[in-house]
Structure formats: structure tokens, C-alpha cells
A = this chain, B = another copy of it.
Amino acid sequence: MTDEAAAFVPGHVTGFFSAHPDEDSSIAGSRGAGVALSHGVDVRVVRGSDGNDVGVTLNGDPIDVAPVAAVLDDLDASDARVVAETPLPLGAGFGVSGAMALGTAYAVNAAYGRSRSENELVGLAHAAEVEAGTGLGDVVAQARGGLPIRLEPGAPEHGRLDGIPASPRVEYISFGSVSTEDVLSGDTSTLTAAGERALADLRAEPTTDRLVELSRRFAREADLLTDRVADAVAAVRAEGGDAAMAMLGDTAFAFGDGLSSAGYDPEVCAVHPTGATLRPPRLDRFER
């Protein structure tokens, strides 16, 4: 047990999804598929900070994130200081709130010696995210890494995952936010029907090309496509590539060099094959 611990959680872009609400937040969740990103969120937790230092910051600024507060409460760590850093924009479809909740769970568990298993920590963060209305499937995907396919919704004791075995380069560009809460609190029957179709088609051919194609189709069928993402997708397709929209943000993503070939100046990262991980305490002592 140390007084301080740090975790890294990959960002996650959902390409398509279906919503599966339930009164039990560990059963509630989403089916769908997406991409875990090497761009993610570093979360450092300091135990027993004095009153002035208690609280949560993101990139240096104080912030209220409901799922993080819920995780701190669940793990009895109200005197924690949570310091999160990320290059990803908040509210733009990268799962930053889920990553903060999951990273807080891993780091608090280590700093406070709570002796929870990974499934228990993922379950806490998933339930916190569902109850806050900020996401349905990012947490379990971020706990897995890679190109997660969410076969069954819910926390690890209920959900079931698969993945696409690939390691493509990823490009993305964000134009702004879409409110996850607004979409999830409205009528989700159309998007859920579209998401279930896309999942069945992806399972028949689990490749990155199909993931982008089905995600592009989903955004239109679910009536979620923004004008700027529609323009970006059209530009990428005109160059022979393919692109889709991040659920839920005014954000376009593509594999390979789709966006840059179309004249955009995207962020570039990799698929992150690893799920959320506790940072080794002293990396210099490792020989890899």
C-alpha cells in the first residue's frame, strides 16, 4: 500500500451502439463496437490530502465529474485528491468521464489498499457512469482495450465482450460536443434498432473496414450525424477512404490516413491494445 497511485485509461470512441437501460445499473449498458485509443487519461490519486487539496482536477482545473464522486464515495475515499490529465476533449465522444471514473477506481484501490479485483473496480465505475447518465458502454470497453465489441451490456459480471484483432493507425478530429445525457434520456428506439443491425453485421465480419462502414451507416440511420462530421465523411470517401462519427460527439474518426488524405489536420494515435492499468510504481526498476 502506498499513499499515492496512478492509473492510465485509454480513450474510447464508440462507432455504433444500442441502449439497454435497466433499474440495476450493473445490468444496464449498451451493445456496440468502438476503438480504444492510445490517447487517454492519466489519473493520479493522493490519499489523505489536507482540506485545501481535496477535490478533482482535469488538466489543472477544478471540475465536478459525477461518476468520479460516486467512485470515491463507494471506495470510502472522500479525502482523496484526484489529478487527471488528458489530451482528449471532454464531451466530444472520447469517454473522458468514464476514463476518469475508472482511473480513479484503480488508483484509489491501490493508494488506499482496498483489495478489490479488476472486475469489481470496473463494475463500480460502470455503475457510476450509468447512474450519472454520462455513458453506457465506455467503461467496460476502456477496461478491455483494443477494438472492443460489446456483445452483452452491463458490468463485467453481466456483460460479455469480443474484439477485432487488428492494430490500425487512428485519425480523429473534433469539432465540438454532443450531449450524451440529452440523447440517452430521449427516445432511443430508432438508434437501438440501427445499433443491433450493425452489431449483427459486424459479428459476421469483424474487421476494421466493416467497423467504419457500419458506424458510418449507423450515424445516419440513428439520425445523429452532425453537418461537420457529414462533410468530413464525404471528403474522406471522395479520396477513396472511409470515416465515421464518434458516439457521442461532433467528432469524426478514420483508420489509416483517411482524414489527412482528405486535407484535414487530424490528431493521430494508435489503437491501445491494453485496458485500464495501474502505473508501475517505479518504472526504472523494470527490464522489459
Contact = CB atoms under 8 A, between A and B. Distances in A.
Contacts of A203: 117
A106 B165 contact: yes
Interface in A191-210: 203, 205-207
Interface string A46-68: 00000000000000000000000
Contact of A116 (B109, B165, B274): B165
Contacts of A167: 277-281
A185 interface: no
Interface in A161-215: 162-169, 203, 205-207
A270 interface: yes
Interface string A264-281: 000011100111011111
A101 interface: no
A6 to B, nearest CB: 10
A287 B273 contact: no
A275 B164 CA distance: 13
Contacts of A273: 274-275, 277
Given A163-B117, A165-B109, A286 B274 contact: no
Contact of A118 (B162, B275, B278, B285): B162
B116 A278 contact: no
Residue with the highest number of chain B CB atoms closer than 10 Å, among A106, A117, A279: A117
Contact of A286 (B149, B163, B270): B270
B110 A166 contact: yes
Q: Looking at chain A, what size class is its interface with the partner chain?
A: 35 or more
Contacts of A32: none
Nearest to A210: B115
A16 to B, nearest CB: 16
Nearest to A170: B286
Contacts of A165: 106, 109-110, 116-118, 121, 278
A281 to B, nearest CB: 8
Nearest to A145: B274
A195 B156 CA distance: 23
A192 B126 CA distance: 34
Given A270-B280, A273-B275, A278-B167, A162 B285 contact: no
Given A118-B165, A269-B287, 20 more contacts: A38-B288, A106-B165, A115-B207, A116-B165, A117-B149, A117-B203, A117-B206, A118-B146, A118-B164, A119-B163, A145-B274, A146-B277, A165-B278, A167-B277, A167-B279, A168-B280, A169-B280, A268-B286, A270-B280, A270-B287
